[in-house]
A and B are shown apart, each in its own frame.
Chain A
């Protein structure tokens, strides 16, 4: 479609290629060093599975991973339900205040939500920080992502199918159950998978709402980075990258626009 002058010159390709290298090289090094037979992240000395074996016997790491999975599962289930409702409410009833409350936690610096929740838990709810406080916090910032995907799915639908359902005598519930729901289900699944990924990856908000009792995987990785960096961090990082990559690609199967930069 583009005319001759709109095409990309070699300079543009070179600049773009440099950026891709910048994006991938650091992560590639982490992955490579997870198989490196050396205690230092400095030079390649040989291939080993050693750091993955260390990982499998690291009790603290396994507990943290279990906690992370549990929190991600519960919080993504709750935020899928609430986020779907929010997406429908914003789209169908043009609920501006809800739109603002759903989108702001997505847009603002995470630390603001983290510390305000900390203040709220301790000062108002008198809640002991732990699993519950983390799950609630994760739901608060995940609702928006689910709502965005669900609303985009609704906006892509033809309005006349709802009118047709009503004209054929369907009640609002029947319209939802047999028309809307099957059509937005892919969006819900994509949103839910995103919420799961966001939860399992979250560091900042968890850092402020976890208290001392509960470790999640990112919190555990953080304390390892801050104290003793061993290639075990590379190994857990590689596995976590594989997991989130799988989740994101799975989410994109249900909402193809997700990986096209369209949101």
Chain B
């Protein structure tokens, strides 16, 4: 029901009563913290953690606005390196999710409608289990005594190669990133593929297209809005992930999320932590904007 459908003269008071409480709550619990983060990123660190005041009556204490943390971020390559590594990790995660999700989504979309719901349910259910448990499960699967580790190292031994540690590695981080984000790719793809008109494929076949051509020139281009929606849904949370590297990664597998956590909870340099948050936010907004734009452009062909 849009406004056009519903010219409502009594809307005045009701509108404020209904929208006021959630609006005020989120103004306090979402908008204000976001504003404070921006301010903090331009502040000096406080003497005992926290922030130095912006204004003070004592001119001897550190106070005011500064670009110091931003300069610090760009001056030391290690931070930019962690950002690049996180973006690469999130990109790999997205690509692997896409290649795993596509056949599955295609299968579900082409199944008889009664079977579709159950197949989708089977994708969503593991997702309903706790996030930490899903990560922890990989600790067992990749552990040094696990069947998988023994198998891989047994094969390596046959070829005379040194055994590898699967756990606490970039590999473990990547596999868990794919695991926890996979449903985010399957669902938008499925929603898109389900809407395709099967007559298009018949037409393509009548015009002499083989199975491969039908996929690349009909199904895939039409599914791009779903691909971009899934990309945003996987890439964005993967980029900000901190629990997976914390649990399954080695010492060198720190991502942006771990860096932010460290600034807030360990080093307690909040201005720098806030700066990193802002940088992550900018990266996320760029991805969201890009995927929305590409998705909309492709979508207009359908």
Q: Are A and B genuine complex partners?
A: yes
Q: List chain A positions with a Cβ less than 8 A from chain B.
A: 1-3, 5-8, 11-13, 15-16, 19-20, 22-27, 29-30, 33, 40-43, 81-83, 85-86, 88-89, 91-95, 97-98, 101-102, 104-105, 107-113, 115-120, 122-124, 136-137, 139-140, 143, 147, 154-155, 159, 162-163, 171-172, 197, 201, 203-204, 207-208, 218, 221-222, 225-226, 229, 233, 237, 240-241, 244-245, 248, 259-262
Say whether chain A's binding surface is mostly helix, strand, loop, or mixed: helix
Given known A15-B103, A30-B140, contact A110–B237 (CB-CB < 8 A): yes
* 5 shortest interchain CB distances as A-B pairs: A109-B240, A26-B137, A89-B19, A42-B145, A116-B33
Task: Tell me if B130 and A218 are in contact (CB < 8 A).
Answer: yes
A237: B residues at CB distance < 8 A: 129-130, 133, 136
CB neighbors of A among B120-178 (8 A): 120-126, 128-141, 143, 145-146
Task: Tell me if B141 and A29 are in contact (CB < 8 A).
Answer: yes
A207 to B246, CA, bound (A): 13
Given contacts A5-B202, A109-B239, A143-B22, 11 further A-B pairs with CB under 8 A are A3-B199, A3-B202, A5-B211, A25-B141, A27-B134, A42-B145, A92-B18, A109-B236, A203-B243, A259-B121, A261-B186
Which of A94, A111, A207 contacts B3, CB < 8 Å?
Answer: A94
Nearest residue, chain B, Cβ from A259: B121
Task: Tell me if B33 and A120 are in contact (CB < 8 A).
Answer: yes
7 interchain pairs, CB-CB under 8 A: A13-B107, A15-B104, A43-B145, A109-B240, A115-B264, A139-B25, A262-B191
A203: B residues at CB distance < 8 A: 130-132, 243
User: What distance in Å separates the Cβ of B65 from its nearest Cβ neighbour in chain A?
Assistant: 16
B298 at the interface (CB under 8 A from A): no
Say whether chain B's binding surface is mostly helix, strand, loop, or mixed: helix
A123: B residues at CB distance < 8 A: 36, 40, 50-51, 270
A159: B residues at CB distance < 8 A: 1, 5-6
B14 at the interface (CB under 8 A from A): yes
A20 to B108, CA, bound (A): 12
Task: Tell me if B120 and A118 are in contact (CB < 8 A).
Answer: no
A262 to B34, CA, bound (A): 30
B101: A residues at CB distance < 8 A: 19
B111: A residues at CB distance < 8 A: 8
B281 at the interface (CB under 8 A from A): yes
A8 to B133, CA, bound (A): 33
Q: List chain B positions with a Cβ less than 8 A from chain A.
A: 1-3, 5-6, 10-11, 14-15, 18-19, 21-23, 25-27, 29-34, 36-37, 40, 50-51, 100-101, 103-104, 106-108, 110-111, 113, 117, 120-126, 128-141, 143, 145-146, 179, 182, 186-187, 190-191, 198-199, 201-202, 205, 211, 214, 236-237, 239-243, 246-247, 257, 260-261, 264-265, 270, 273-274, 277, 280-281, 284, 288
Which of B22, B25, B211, B288 has the most CB atoms of chain A within a 10 A radius of its CB? Answer: B22
B246: A residues at CB distance < 8 A: 226
A5 to B219, CA, bound (A): 12
Which of A107, A122, A225 contacts B132, CB < 8 Å?
Answer: A225
Nearest residue, chain B, Cβ from A240: B130
Task: Tell me if B128 and A115 are in contact (CB < 8 A).
Answer: no
User: What distance in Å separates the Cβ of B84 from its nearest Cβ neighbour in chain A?
Assistant: 17
B3: A residues at CB distance < 8 A: 93-94
Nearest residue, chain A, Cβ from B99: A15
Which of B18, B25, B50, B132 contacts A222, CB < 8 Å?
Answer: B132
Nearest residue, chain B, Cβ from A242: B129
Task: Tell me if A41 and B182 are in contact (CB < 8 A).
Answer: no
B31: A residues at CB distance < 8 A: 101
B273: A residues at CB distance < 8 A: 115
A260 to B123, CA, bound (A): 10
Given known A5-B205, A12-B106, A136-B29, contact A111–B120 (CB-CB < 8 A): no
Nearest residue, chain B, Cβ from A90: B19
A26 to B288, CA, bound (A): 31
B30: A residues at CB distance < 8 A: 101, 104-105, 113, 140
Nearest residue, chain A, Cβ from B31: A101
Nearest residue, chain B, Cβ from A42: B145
B23: A residues at CB distance < 8 A: 86, 89, 95, 97-98, 101
User: What distance in Å separates the Cβ of B73 from its nearest Cβ neighbour in chain A?
Assistant: 16
Task: Tell me if A27 and B133 are in contact (CB < 8 A).
Answer: yes
Given known A5-B205, A112-B240, A123-B36, contact A85–B18 (CB-CB < 8 A): yes
Nearest residue, chain A, Cβ from B219: A6
User: What distance in Å separates the Cβ of A237 from its nearest Cβ neighbour in chain B?
Assistant: 4
B37: A residues at CB distance < 8 A: 115-116, 119
B261: A residues at CB distance < 8 A: 111, 115, 208
Task: Tell me if A82 and B32 are in contact (CB < 8 A).
Answer: no
B280: A residues at CB distance < 8 A: 109, 111-112
Task: Tell me if A42 and B146 are in contact (CB < 8 A).
Answer: yes
Task: Tell me if A261 and B124 are in contact (CB < 8 A).
Answer: yes
Task: Tell me if B264 and A118 are in contact (CB < 8 A).
Answer: yes
Nearest residue, chain B, Cβ from A197: B128
